[in-house]
Amino acid sequence: MNAEAKKKVDVLSEELLPYIIAEQERRTTLYKRIMTAIQNGEKGVTVAEIRGKPPVIIRKGLFYRCPANRAPKEPDGSGTLMCEEEVEPSQVMYDSCLSAEDKELYVAENRYFFCNQAKKKVDVLSEELLPYIIAEQERRTTLYKRIMTAIQNGEKGVTVAEIRGKPPVIIRKGLFYRCPANRAPKEPDGSGTLMCEEEVEPSQVMYDSCLSAEDKELYVAENRYFFCNRHKVEGPDLPRNGTTVIGCAPIERTSLNYTANKCALEDTDDVVVHYRYYPDRTYKFVTELDPDREVCDHWNPCQIGYIFSLPSPDQAVTANELWRE
């Protein structure tokens, strides 16, 4: 392996790797769930086409086909199946091409074959159960968001956020702090006091470009892509001159290239953050909110790996140029 090839190898720390894998598994699970809904025509109608074969219409796991020389009519959202010229499609028991994906291949007397008898689809949920499944998923999503908000803002506790290659950020009540060079954050004792090694106090910083990039708008001006680093309580209002201000002054910008190089994993747009959250001793909210430990195994501290993607240039908002360098 030459030196240039070695440079491309992304060696992740043992702390971050499990969270990367967990996020990949989450995305894979999401993709599988959506593909299952599409392949079975759940809560909708799917038209499957294979070159050289007539289309198959799928609705609630059942297959239909239009007569010869009649194409499926575009569904109108009512769930009604129809072919051209208002001809109704006929139900078919299976499609040999589509069925081959999840069927076992058998052999007998040197002949290889699939069995076309329809299997019971375990993953096709009845309409009675689906609302409860969705409600449970929404509950878990809401729980995760509320706990992540507490952790990311250091609510009723202290959070230490780490991104590979950058010094840790200490977060308390939405404010950011950083220890001096060669001083790591001291493990919080539950009192809410912030301290670095050797009893050195951390200094407040107005923002962290990596953490800020997640919920900041991406702007473009004169072919330069950037984030605005202004804090919500920072400084006076921007100059308006009777115009709606979009963007920020050059001194308050961090370029997209800088953010991607300093924050994202190599050759990706993904930023991975490792959070350690230490609740205050008097703070019972998190344990009451998450009694079954669905989000954190324990709270001393709660450790969560978090991943988000930086926006691409085509998502940028054009800024007003009210400032000149």
Q: How many CB atoms lie within 10 A of CB 219?
A: 20
Structure tokens at 165: 């290659």
pLDDT digits (tens, 9 = 90+) for 139-179: 888 888 888 888 889 988 899 999 888 899 999 998 999 99
**Residue recorded with tokens 């969705």:** 134
Mean pLDDT to the nearest integer, 221-246: 61
Placement of tokens 């076309």 in the chain? 116
The neighbour count for residue 22, using CB atoms within 10 Å, is 13
* pTM greater than the 0.75 cutoff: no
Min mean pLDDT across 109-118, 198-207, 293-302 is at 109-118
How is 265-315 classified by DSSP, letter by letter?
A: PTTSSEEEEEEEEEE-TT--HHHHHSTT-SS-S-SSSEEEEEEEEPPPGGG
pLDDT band at 10 (very low <50, low <70, confident <90, very high): very low
Among 12-26, 124-138, 192-206, 230-244, which is the least confidently predicted range?
230-244
Structure tokens, 249: 């002054």
Query: Which tens digits make up the pLDDT trace of 67-107?
Result: 888 888 888 888 888 898 888 888 887 777 776 665 555 54
What is the residue type of 287?
A: T
Query: Tokens for 31?
Result: 């993709």
CB 175 within 8 A of CB 150: no
9 pLDDT band, cuts 50/70/90, is very low
Secondary structure (DSSP) of 157-215: EEEEEE-TTS--EEEETTEEEEPPTT-PBPPP-SS----BGGGBPPEEES--HHHHTTS
Distances (CA, A) of 168 to 160, 163, 194, 205: 6, 7, 13, 12
| Chain segment 174-189, per-residue pLDDT in tens | 899 999 988 899 998 8
Q: What is the pLDDT of residue 175?
A: 92
Residue 21 predicted with pLDDT over 70: no
Q: Say if CB 248 and CB 224 are below 8 A apart.
A: no
C-alpha torsion 67→69→74→80, nearest 10: -20
Quote the pLDDT of residue 19.
64
pLDDT, position 244: 52
**pLDDT band per the 50, 70, 90 thresholds, residue 119:** very low
The mean of the pLDDT values for the chain is 77
Phi-psi category of residue 242: left, alpha or beta, with phi > 0 → left and psi -120 to 50 → alpha:
left
Percent of the chain exceeding pLDDT 70 equals 75
Token code pair at residue 272? 């991975």
Among the ranges 100-114, 120-134, 243-257, 274-288, which has the highest mean pLDDT value?
274-288
What is the strand order of the sheet 169-172 is part of? Answer: 203-205, 175-178, 169-172, 157-162, 270-279, 302-309
Partners of 90 in the beta sheet?
65
